Amino acid sequence: MRLRRDSDGALHKVVLDVDGVECFVVRWTESCSGCCELGEAMMNAHHYAFDDKAHCYVGSGCDECGYTGKRRREWLAPFEFDARASRSAPPRTGTS
Ligand SMILES: [Zn+2]
């Protein structure tokens, strides 16, 4: 296992994604889309309880979320997100 700092200086465990890029896992909790229909502008938010700890609304419960009304999500965030973005920028031309 390796540890690496992200651009904010926080240490994360290094995980390789399908392209072999070094990433770290970001996890969060969000409202279950199966039983918590918030819509585009959080139109129905008043129908649901708000979970302060998870920072999401709690749905009424369904098969999809195991009747908890919210779901755990995770995503692989590349350490060099900025580097990747700059690599796809057009090359500089002209004389220096
Ligand atoms: Zn649900």
Instruction: Provide CB contacts within 8 A for 30, sequence distance 6+.
Output: 54, 56, 70, 71, 73
For residue 82, what are the CA distances in angstroms to 6, 22, 56, 76?
11, 13, 28, 15
From ligand 1's centre to the CA of 68, what distance in Å?
Answer: 7
Q: Which two tokens stand for residue 47?
A: 């129908």
From ligand 1's centre to the CA of 66, what distance in Å?
Answer: 7
From ligand 1's centre to the CA of 17, what distance in Å?
Answer: 28
Model pLDDT for residues 26-79, shown as the tens digit of each residue: 999 999 999 998 877 778 888 899 999 999 999 999 999 999 999 999 999 999
Query: What is the pTM for the complete model shown?
Result: 0.66
From ligand 1's centre to the CA of 61, what distance in Å?
Answer: 4
Q: Cα–chain-centroid distance for residue 92?
A: 33
Instruction: Give yes or no for a contact between 25 and 16, defined as CB atoms under 8 angstroms apart.
Output: no
Question: What is the pLDDT at residue 81?
Answer: 66
Judge whether residue 88 has pLDDT over 60. Answer: no
Residue 82 sits at φ, ψ, to 5 deg, of -65, -40
Please report, as a single letter, which amino acid is at residue 32. Answer: C
